[in-house]
Amino acid sequence: MRRVLLLQLACLLAVSSFVYGQNGHMGHPIDKNIVFPHFAIGAGVNTQIILMNPRPGNEVTGTLFFFTQSGAPLSVVNNGQSVNQLQVTLPPEGIEFISVSGATGQATTVGWALLDVTGPGQGQDDPRTRVFGSVTFTTTQGSNTVGSVGVVAGRYELGAHRTVAVPVIVQGNTINTGVALVNSGAAAMTISFQLKDRQGTVVQEAATINPPISPLAPGNQTARFVTELFSGFNFNNNDFRGTLVISAQQEGLVVTGLLSTNALLTSIPVVLVPGQGPGGGNPQTHTVNDVGFTFNPATVTITAGDSVQWQIASIHNVVEVTEATWNANGNTPKAGGFSTTFGGGTVQFNTPGTYWYVCSPHASAGMKGRVIVNPAQ
């Protein structure tokens, strides 16, 4: 019974995470997504998602989508209406409180949410950097509130070939550590797990959970304690301190750390492992395509040392321009800037910064994009 209770509570934790890359689940562009890996409704559980736009000068717009654990659209009740998506507008320095619940008599239902940021327009800084989120879960019995859990949002990026580490504590039947995983990408996700002790020695090479979590299908979400992931390991007779290492071979995986103490939940850090993934000695290649007279994605965020490959029609090319030329839909090349031939090509970016580019013949029609290069870790 206690194990069932802990599993239910593990499904009541959420933080928001940024995910970078190509189009993801159901066509939502990963480079504009903010993912809430967990929320719950039904059977006396209500969720409130809090979104903040702390910067002055620009409003942020987007659509908040709700999904089941298997990635299908999930209906929630908001202001008495059954919906599976909500339009969101955050004024400069504004905040929005979005309350959702289940239908009358609905059993506890766990899912995940995705905010697809659609504004401000091109030429502005990355809109995701201006949205911060958190989630509060409230459990009621009749008219009485029996528990309320608020979780401050964090940002845990897990792109192509990224590796993260989660601190692990297991102590008797009172403390356990878990993770929530969402595949927000468009392809099945190959995930590997390692359990290390406090000296960094690998004590369990692969998860033994049955059925296995990997591959994780597109749009799927799951939450598991480490004692479930490594069911054959004795965790030093339930007195263990160490690290859980998680690696993914595709883009779009979002990881949230969970710590359960006497059935009370808190979030715990999830950190990128140095030397693994983009910027850590394993450069990546990111693909940009063309859709009509637009680049897709129009903005790609990479790490210094990564490359961008443009796979575009023979009537299009890529030419770097200044920001002023880009804003004016001009096509005057930037002195010393990069370019590709018609039909595309590959460019490696080793210096952090923002690079603005256009298709020369179609710049006046707004065919342009940018590459944001973050420093290597």
pLDDT-above-70 percentage for the chain = 77
Task: Please compute the mean of the pLDDT values over residues 84-107 and round it to a whole number.
Answer: 91
- Sheet of 318-321, strand order: 299-303, 368-374, 353-358, 318-321, 339-340
Calculate the alpha carbon distances from 138 to 2, 144, 192 in Å: 20, 10, 34
The Cα–Cα gap between 35 and 13 comes to: 13
Q: pTM of this prediction?
A: 0.64
Task: Please compute the mean of the pLDDT values over residues 88-99 and round it to a whole number.
Answer: 90
- pLDDT reported for residue 22: 57
What is the residue-averaged pLDDT of the chain?
Answer: 80
- pLDDT reported for residue 32: 62
Q: Encode pLDDT of 210-263 as tens digits.
A: 778 888 899 999 888 999 999 888 887 789 999 998 887 667 778 878 788 876
Classify domain 163-272 at the CATH class level. Answer: mainly beta
The Cα–Cα gap between 275 and 286 comes to: 19
The Cα–Cα gap between 311 and 289 comes to: 5
Q: Encode pLDDT of 362-373 as tens digits.
A: 999 999 999 998
| Lowest-confidence region among 106-110, 115-119, 343-347 | 115-119
> In which residue are the tokens 């692990």 written?
168
Architecture of domain 285-374: Sandwich (2.60)
| Bond before 167 cis per omega within 30 degrees | no
Q: Which residues pair with 100 in a beta bridge?
A: 47
3-state helix, strand, coil in the chain (%, to 5): 10, 50, 40
What is the band of 274 on the pLDDT scale with cuts at 50, 70, 90? low
- pLDDT reported for residue 281: 54
| Lowest-confidence region among 111-120, 156-165, 307-316 | 156-165
Calculate the alpha carbon distances from 337 to 327, 355, 370 in Å: 17, 9, 13
- pLDDT reported for residue 162: 65
